[in-house]
Chain A
Amino acid sequence: MNPFEVTGINTTNKRTQALFRLLFMMMTLLLILPVIIIMMTLVYKGGSVVTYDFLFSHPTNGMTAGGIFPALFGTICLVTVALVVSVPIGVAAAIYLSEYASDNWLTRLINLSIVNLAGVPSIVHALFGVGAFVIFFQFGTSILAASCTLAVMTLPVVIVATRESLQSVPMAFREACWNMGATRWQTIRRIVLPNSISGILTGVILEVSRTAGETAPIMFTGAVFFTPFLPQGVMDQSMALSLHLFVLSTQVPGVPEALPYGVALVLISIVLIMNSASIAFRMYLRGKKKW
């Protein structure tokens, strides 16, 4: 008897195999397709609203007409200040975890805190922002308070991305540098950071995208429903794109249907473009890596 002959059980197995493959593929598609359809609806309904004027003019008629410039500008301010706060802390924390920390209880506790910080509900971050930055540190409801809240919330993104990028620098690079008599900081500054800066940048872009989309943490800490003025400094309140979408779709009567679609389209474009940039950059780096 030919041992390689195709028997009944082989065909059954093959058929089951094909069936399961199809099933899982359907599941994947069912997960992705509805979202793509939804996104196309957003583009279809909001596309006609988004013009140069829409982006760069103020809302008029009780926010039922006009543009979104104050909200767009406010989001840029909030994200910038949040980055100024969180990037130095996050990068330094990642340097500690990657270059200094040994595998002990403290490191485990730090890692656990990072996971938990990422998992705390955004509205609890908002309560923390109110209790800590608005009231205790007396920032009031301001861009500073809102940005600090956002910074705490997105800190894990920076730490995790930076740590990964630092750890991908081969140990031999550091050892070679130490052997030349360099101190640990000299090694980090001259060897480790230059070799991982692009990876860190990827994490920062990702953080921008996360920060720009958040709503709950800024609702009570510094973003306002409407203000005719652009913020003059970090102690001013400001509008924000994400909150503007919430306000337009739930709080303001008589908004033309297309307007919130336009805001949603702008918001999601910013987030997805930033994210795609980060992913593309990461892939480019992976292709270029010399070691």
Chain B
Amino acid sequence: MNPVEFAPRSFQRNRDWYIDHVVQGVVFIAGISAIVFIVGIFIFITKEGMGFVLEHVTFRDVFGSMYWEPSDEDAPDYGILALVAGTASVSGLAMIVAIPFSLGAAIFIAEFSSGATRESLKVLIELLAAIPSVVWGFIGLSILNPLIMRLFDVPVGLNVLNAGLILGLMAAPIMTSIAEDALKAVPDRYREAAEAMGATKWQVTFRVVLPAAKNGLLGAVLLGVGRGFGETMAVLMATGHSVNMPDSVFDSVRALTATIAAELGETARGSDHYGALFAIGIFLFMITFVINLSADLIVRGVKNS
């Protein structure tokens, strides 16, 4: 947005001119606040966690061991392999649930519905996305837990299946609305050209709209993955929270995020355990940063082309 060039400066230097420049400075500082906060997050969690990473553990200790026993006084273990497996299995199952359904829903809303149906579906999806994660966790704990125990005849209903379903239901509305945006971004003339050739609606959707929107859809999926990876409360409450390499979907696991949430309250500031939790934070920050960055680059690629 380029402003119109004003008259020469000397002519304008009254009170309003000065106010204008002060305001410009203030909004500029606010404008770069997002950068400041992102850098700040990195600096502060690194400050608390880096000392531990550099002094106490090696790469092998952390990524080569599945024993997470940071409160053992004699020989604490800081292996996060089981935690990574927990996070990955839950997010993986969530994506298996969420990706097909949210893409299907996005296609239905964007291509197959119109008018009041579309508007009300969009509002519903938006409301579903607003349900707080602690409520989802509570649902996993008190509704899905007995349901899974009864349906599959397993002793514990807090497991990969439970958390995966909860996380899938959580991530799906967000993925649906981003995917729907991506489909809407495909120009109507593409559809009209295909329809003029005699293609039916689903032919237009599959042969024209989906290929044209594939980057945006990939971005939507990636953002969903990022959300699943970073989800804390729901995963803490629905996974069963026991350190475990899962063999089946009925095993309880523990996630990276949930470990921080459960243990930070009971560690002394500056202790190794405390540092280890911040180190997990650095790891999570970097992973989600990469996921969000690539999602953004992919989606931006669509807009530029």
- Report which A residues bind B (CB closer than 8 A): 13-14, 16-17, 20-21, 23-25, 27-28, 30-32, 34-35, 38, 41-42, 88-90, 92-93, 95-102, 106, 109-110, 112-117, 119-128, 130-132, 135-136, 152, 155-156, 159, 171, 175, 178-179, 183-186, 188, 209-210, 212-216, 219-220, 242-243, 245-246, 249-250, 257, 260-261, 264, 267-268, 271-272, 275-276, 279
Checking B109, B137, B169, B257 against A246 with a beta-carbon cut-off of 8 angstroms, the contacting residue is B137
Q: Decide if B68 is an interface residue (CB 8 Å cutoff).
A: no
A-B contacts, 19 listed (Cβ < 8 Å)? A20-B202, A21-B201, A32-B125, A34-B169, A35-B128, A89-B33, A99-B1, A101-B1, A117-B38, A119-B230, A119-B289, A121-B257, A125-B41, A135-B48, A184-B23, A184-B24, A272-B130, A275-B126, A275-B127
Q: Is A185 touching B231 in the complex (CB atoms < 8 A)?
A: no
Q: Nearest Cβ distance between residue B57 and chain A, in whole angstroms? A: 18
Report whether A127 and B20 are in contact in the complex, using a CB–CB cutoff of 8 Å: no
State the interface size on chain B (CB cutoff 8 A).
94
A31 and B142 contact, Cβ closer than 8 Å, known pairs A122-B232, A272-B130: no
B149 on the A face (CB < 8 A): no
Chain A residues in 8 Å Cβ range of B293? 112, 116
A117-B34, A117-B37, A264-B138 known; A95-B45 Cβ under 8 A:
no
Name which of B35, B269, B295 has the most chain A CB atoms within 10 A of its CB. B35
Assess the A156–B34 pair: CB atoms within 8 A: yes
A-side contacts of B131, CB under 8 Å: 35, 213, 268, 271-272
Are B143 and A41 touching (Cβ within 8 A)? yes
A32 with B128, Cβ < 8 A, contacts A23-B104, A123-B284, A131-B45 known: yes
Which residues in A have their C-beta under 8 angstroms from that of B45?
A: 124, 127-128, 131
Do the beta carbons of A271 and B132 come within 8 Å of each other? yes
Q: Which residue of A lies closest to B226 (CB)?
A: A119
B101 CB within 8 Å of chain A: yes
Name the residue on B nearest A242 (C-beta): B134
Tell me the interface secondary structure of chain B in the complex. helix
Q: Which residues of B have CB within 8 Å of A38?
A: 139, 143
**What's the nearest-Cβ distance from chain B to residue A144, in Å?**
17
15 more contacts with CB within 8 A, not counting A113-B37, A120-B285, A183-B17, are A27-B104, A31-B105, A90-B30, A96-B27, A101-B1, A102-B2, A109-B35, A110-B35, A116-B289, A135-B48, A178-B6, A215-B134, A245-B135, A250-B237, A267-B132
- A124-B230, A131-B48 known; A178-B4 Cβ under 8 A: yes
B233 adjacent to chain A (CB < 8 Å): yes
A219 neighbours in B (Cβ, 8 Å): 261, 264-265
Complex Cα–Cα for A224 and B264 (A): 14
CB atoms of B288 and A249 under 8 A apart: no
Q: How far, in Å, is A178 (CB) from chain B's closest CB? A: 5
B278 interface residue per 8 A CB criterion: yes
Instruction: Among A16, A109, A183, point to the contact of B200 (Cβ < 8 A).
Output: A16
Chain A residues lying within 8 Å of B223, measured Cβ to Cβ, are 119
Do the beta carbons of A31 and B102 come within 8 Å of each other? yes
- Known A35-B169, A110-B31; judge A124-B38 contact (CB<8 A): no
A98 and B4 CA atoms in complex are apart in Å by 15
* A33 CB, nearest partner CB in chain B, Å: 10
Please give the distance in Å from A64's CB to the nearest CB on chain B.
Answer: 16
Q: How far is the CA of A210 from the CA of B172 in the complex (A)?
A: 17
Asked if B63 is an interface residue, CB under 8 A from chain A, the answer is no
Q: A171: which B residues are within 8 A, CB to CB?
A: 1
B28 touches A100 (CB 8 A): yes
Once the chains bind, are A186 and B44 in contact (CB under 8 Å)? no
Contact A96 B31 (CB under 8 A): yes
- Would you give the 0/1 interface string for B1-37, flagging 1 where the beta carbon is closer than 8 Å to chain A? 1111010000010001101100110111111111101
Contacts of B176 in A (CB 8 A): 31
CA distance A228 to B12 in the complex (A): 60
Complex CA distance for A30 and B18, rounded to whole angstroms:
59
Contact B296 A115 (CB under 8 A): yes
Docked complex Cα distance between A152 and B48 (Å): 19
